[in-house]
Amino acid sequence: MAQKTFNNRSAATLQIALLVRQGENPANFDGDVYFTLAPGQTRTITYGNAQNVFLNGIVLSANFNGDIYNKTQIVTERGSQLDNLLNTNSIIDILPISTDYVIFGRNA
């Protein structure tokens, strides 16, 4: 199993789906993990198994202040900017910037 800590730095409740990779090839999919982050909430999420420790993408959704927001980001190539962000960091921060929610990665 793998795990990451997610921080919601926005005023909106976020619905999140993590797309788990099967093995090392981004073309292979192992399943989804769904969770919700309240405004300001931090949660550690466990996903995958001993063979499937990589993330292939993330889906963020929110309904806030009269707007519905939905964003999907999917890795198509190992070593891409998104692949590195999702798979080389232990902490993912989600921040509102203008009308977008942006993810940043860091390590503890």
| Cβ neighbours, 10 Å, residue 63 | 13
Do 62 and 14 meet the contact criterion of CB atoms below 8 Å apart? yes
- Give the tens place of pLDDT for each residue, 30-39: 999 999 999 9
Domain of 21, CATH number, reads: 2.60.40
Phi, psi dihedrals of residue 85, rounded to the nearest 5° = -60, -50
Q: For residue 75, what pLDDT is reported?
A: 98
Q: Which residues of the chain have pLDDT under 50?
A: none
Q: How many folded domains does the chain comprise?
A: 1
User: 96 is written with which tokens?
Assistant: 């509102």
How many whole angstroms separate alpha carbon 83 and alpha carbon 101?
Answer: 18
Domain encompassing residue 85: 2-106
Q: For residue 50, what pLDDT is reported?
A: 93
